[in-house]
A and B are shown apart, each in its own frame.
Chain A
């Protein structure tokens, strides 16, 4: 198997409390993988660690992707900010023009294309605070399109979004997979994972299972994940496993 990501004994902690605990897993390249697990299982933290945004990491992350694109949860964005759809989408080309360069007409052209691809033609000049949750998610997908990344990380892309938008955005995700990009998405809807994602990683702070979705989402595994979530102890003693302290 050609792995896009290889995690070795990965632990990520906030304030000494582990959010992700001794996880080792491989995520296949050019395929779609869903990360599932109960609330507080460390799914978002795992994505942040992959991006290098988590505060404290032990263990190893190997990543073969050159460019990573990331869809944050909507709560992390100030949706009342006065900025237009076009400008938001254009940010996807940050790696090309950075903080100071100018957008070229090719960038504008591509942005227009991306906006069209997510079904928002005619919205270019609209300020983002006039958009619905679903429309704004389309804007963020257009920004991802412009990032042209070989690894796409999506944090709860379909939370609070209607079925039509989900269907449209799933089509975008499938196109990424056809273009040999690796897609990793945190998801809650298990039916959707079974339907659309061939691979899954079940997380409950510790790894429950990773591999083909049909096996990973077995009822024993899901029960085990729930039992582990109920056993979480906020006042646990220091972990017995060998600690490698590194910032």
Chain B
């Protein structure tokens, strides 16, 4: 009985196994990116960035058809270009970076939808916007696994400067370190993860597995490294449970996975050990003196 519910779908179907491995990799790499997105107060900018992948992916689609490498490369280039452009616009005008991000991503979305509609059908558009984790093939799996490897090694390498850049950028500057280098290295890693996530969850929800577990973990952990250690299993659990539920109930897997991640967020918000609703409502206990 339990075997039928929990194991059989993966034992019997290759696409379910591949989806599970892909979501494990996405969970491990993406959630640590998510933690830094939150700490840099960039969660909404990250979302804008994920949308901005669309015209690049669409160009890839226009040239190579529904080929993942072409669409991924296009998406990556578009994402990095958007990040750089908004950074440059913010530096050379009085526009704030979040506003320039919003302007860039709205332009990108419109452009992307237009390009896809030039050649593709509504089904193709749905695939690009919402992803198809059950259609992950070996190429896509390799892409996701390489992304995770690059992300973990990359984050480990720039960890300390990146943390100080978030926390006290002036100190880093006074030490003679160019913080913007680490900012853009981090943004490239973030775009890489969004590209990997977009095959599974689409450009609209690629950030679901990246951000939601990271936000949830901030209600439990007190340091950056422990936040990532808590976020990754939450992300993987949402993916695994989401896959099973969507399999048994015959629902689209992307939104179900993201909804389970939202559930983790909700539970953490209510019952987490710090700054949660429970912690706020708990009767204040103080020591004797």
Q: Does B184 contact A (CB under 8 A)?
A: no
Q: Are B223 and A53 in contact (CB under 8 A)?
A: no
Distance to closest chain B CB from A157 (angstroms): 15
Knowing A77-B168, A95-B175 touch, does A127 contact B160 (C-beta < 8 A)? no
Q: In the complex, what's the smallest C-beta–C-beta distance from B261 to chain A, in angstroms? A: 21
Whether the pair B174, A99 counts as a contact (CB closer than 8 A) is: no
Asked if A59 is at the interface (CB within 8 A of a chain B CB), the reply is no
Q: Which of A217-240 contact B (CB under 8 A)?
A: none
Q: B170 touches which one: A68, A76, A82, A100 (CB < 8 A)?
A: A76
Does B164 interact with chain A (Cβ within 8 Å)? yes
**A interface, size bucket:** 10 to 19
B174-223 residues at the A interface, CB under 8 angstroms = 174-175, 177, 218, 221-223
What residues of A have a CB within 8 angstroms of the CB of B218 in the complex? 82
Tell me whether A13 is interfacial, beta carbon within 8 Å.
no
Q: Which B residues form the contact surface with A (CB < 8 A)? A: 39, 157-158, 160-161, 163-164, 166-171, 173-175, 177, 218, 221-224, 227
State whether B224 touches A99 (Cβ < 8 A): no
Report yes or no: A82 in contact with B224, Cβ–Cβ below 8 A: yes
B170 and A99 contact, CB distance less than 8 A: no
Q: Using A83-B224, A84-B223 as known contacts, say yes or no to A51 and B160 having CB atoms under 8 A apart.
A: no
Nearest CB in chain B: distance from A216 CB, A: 27
Residues of A contacting B223 with CB < 8 Å?
Answer: 82-84, 87, 127
Chain A residues positioned under 8 Å from B39 (CB to CB): 81-82
Q: Bound complex: CA of A53 vs CA of B178, how far in Å? A: 11
Pairwise interchain contact B167-A77, C-beta atoms closer than 8 A = yes
Assembled-state Cα–Cα distance A100/B221 (Å): 24
Partner of B174, one of A51, A77, A82, A87: A51
